[in-house]
Amino acid sequence: MLPIEDRALIETDFNLPGQTRFYRGKVRDVYTVGDQLVMVASDRISSFDHVLPRPIPNKGQVLNQIAAYFLAATADLVPNWVIAHPDPNATVGHACTPYPVEMVIRGYCTGHAWRTYRDGHRELCGVALPEGLRENDPFLQPIITPATKAEEGHDEDISREDIIKKGIVPESEYLELEKYTRALFKKGTQMAAERGLILVDTKYEFGKKDGKIYLIDEIHTPDSSRYFYQEGYTDRQKRGVRQQQLSKEFVREWLMKNGFQGKVGQVMPAMPDEFVETVSQRYIELYEILTGKEFQRMDGENMKNRIEENIRTYLNTVE
What pLDDT, on a 0 to 100 scale, did the predictor assign at position 253?
87
Residue 228, pLDDT > 80, answer: yes
CA torsion 179-181-186-190 (nearest 10°) is 150
pLDDT of residue 150: 63
pLDDT of res. 48: 86
Q: Tell me the Ramachandran region of residue 237: left when phi exceeds 0, alpha when psi lies from -120 to 50, beta otherwise.
A: alpha
pLDDT value at position 115?
A: 94
Render pLDDT for 107-135 as a digit per residue (tens, 0 to 9). Answer: 999 999 999 999 999 999 999 999 999 99
147-186 pLDDT, tens digit per residue, is: 997 655 557 999 999 999 999 999 999 999 999 999 999 9
- Determine the structural domain holding residue 10 and report its residue range: 1-98+163-319
pLDDT tens digits, one per residue of 51-70: 999 999 999 999 999 999 99
Alpha helices, H only, the chain: 59-73, 112-118, 160-165, 171-194, 233-239, 249-257, 273-291, 303-317
Is residue 145, in this structure, part of any structural domain at all?
Answer: no
Give the 3-state secondary structure of residue 214.
strand
How far CA 69 is from CA of 61, 131, 158, 160, in Å, comes to: 12, 38, 30, 30
pLDDT tens digit sequence for 261-284: 988 899 999 999 999 999 999 899
pLDDT of residue 207: 97
CA-to-CA distance for 80 and 298, rounded, in angstroms? Answer: 26
Domain-located, residue 158: no
The answer to whether the CB of 146 falls within 8 A of the CB of 166 is: no
- Rounded Cα–Cα distance for residues 168 and 114 (Å): 27
SS3 content of the chain, % helix, strand, coil (to 5): 35, 25, 40
Q: Is residue 201 very low, low, confident or very high in pLDDT (cuts 50, 70, 90)?
A: very high
Secondary structure letter of residue 279 according to DSSP: H
Q: What is the pTM of this model?
A: 0.91
**Predicted pLDDT at 73:** 97
Q: Can you give the CATH number for the domain in which 294 is found?
A: 3.30.200.20
Rounded mean pLDDT, 223-232: 92
| 170/178 Cα distance (integer angstroms) | 12
Total tally of structural domains belonging to the chain? 1
Residue type, 309: E
d(CA 36, CA 19): 10
Residue at 151 is within a domain = no
- Half-sphere exposure (Cβ direction) of 217: Cα atoms closer than 13 Å: 21
Q: Is the pLDDT of residue 49 over 90?
A: no
In a domain, 105, yes or no: no
- Strands 156-157 and 212-216, sheet pairing: unpaired
Instruction: Flag whether 74 is in a domain.
Output: yes
Residue 107 lies in a domain: no
Mean pLDDT of all residues belonging to the chain: 94
Beta bridge partners of 24: 29
| Residue 155 lies inside a defined structural domain of this protein | no
Whether residue 123 is contained in a domain is answered as: no
